[in-house]
Amino acid sequence: MANYLDFEKNIKQLDEDITNAKIKGDEAAVAILNKNLSKEITKTYKNLDESQRLALARHPDRPYALDYVRAILNDAKEIHGDRAFRDDPSIVCYLGYIGTQKVVLIAEQKGRGTKYKLMRNFGMPHPEGYRKALRVAKLAEKFELPIIFLIDTPGAYPGIGAEERGQSEAIARNLFEFSSIRTRTIAIVIGEGGSGGALAIGVADRLAMLKNSVFSVISPEGCAAILWSDPSKVSTATAAMKITADQLKGLNLIDDVINEPVMGAHRNKAEAAKLVCDYILKELEILNSLSLDEIIQKRQEKILSIGSFSNE
């Protein structure tokens, strides 16, 4: 059964009307209702605001990292552990093929259902998760394999144990290492890109976002709590923070926006996976045409160009 968001009430009603008309065998009504549904979908999704896109990014049916792994990665072999403390299930690492291209894929996984959400720690990595990511990335560098990062996390885990084991150092280390790692890298925000927890696997030659994903320095709820101490200001914070893919592309903070199926990736996971796969293969073809020295130079130039200031 489909989960509908608040702004999809009219779509939900039309879907129910279509179902009832089919049960009654009223083909004429079904045809009319389908036309109305198509118009309603176009109207609803033409101009989504920031809060609506945030809701889509967090949709419970939205495809998670492992959905993309199963859809686009062939002959996949999972790599476990940071070789220091433990294996963190909130970050998954794979070796496999996308088309004929051998790649290493590193991703954040949220998990569905209470059991798997707890197992994956709601997609909030511990420091050993980031150290696992770095270990696997260094393996990719050794064999000159491209790295694909899939970002989807509310943020790095803020628990006492994580802090004791060096959460901030692990994130900072990844930022430093990934800025100069000698292999081709592509990072894609597939859902929620939260704070340093996302950025820790977000330094890459290409940083893209799915159309209905978000990327922010803090959650809108956290921003509203800090600035206004008022949870009713979440929508205001969401709009002010400029966290959507189109807004970040306009600010030159990301490289590309990957389109989604009209009603969102969760409504057509196969099509969403195909769009992500096509983007990866297209960008890898471009990156493969450049030498590693050119790759590093362009990556570091991009990093240094982020942000602006004024003397006024």
- pLDDT average, residue stretch 2-12: 89
- Pick the more confident residue, 3 or 141: 141
Contact in structure between 116 and 159 (CB atoms under 8 Å): no
Q: To the nearest whole number, what is the mean pLDDT of the chain?
A: 94
pLDDT at 53 over 90: yes
Q: Which two tokens stand for residue 43?
A: 């109207």
Q: Which residues pair with 188 in a beta bridge?
A: 150, 208
- pLDDT average, residue stretch 249-263: 93
pLDDT digits (tens, 9 = 90+) for 31-47: 999 999 999 998 999 88
Please tell me the predicted confidence (pLDDT) of residue 1. 60
- Pick the more confident residue, 47 or 279: 279
The whole-model pTM stands at: 0.92
Check residue 79 and give left, alpha or beta (phi > 0: left; psi -120 to 50: alpha).
beta
Please tell me the predicted confidence (pLDDT) of residue 3. 84
pLDDT digits (tens, 9 = 90+) for 122-151: 999 999 999 999 999 999 999 999 999 999
Buried b (16+ CB within 10 A) or exposed e, 42-65: eebbeebebbbbbbbbbbeebbbb
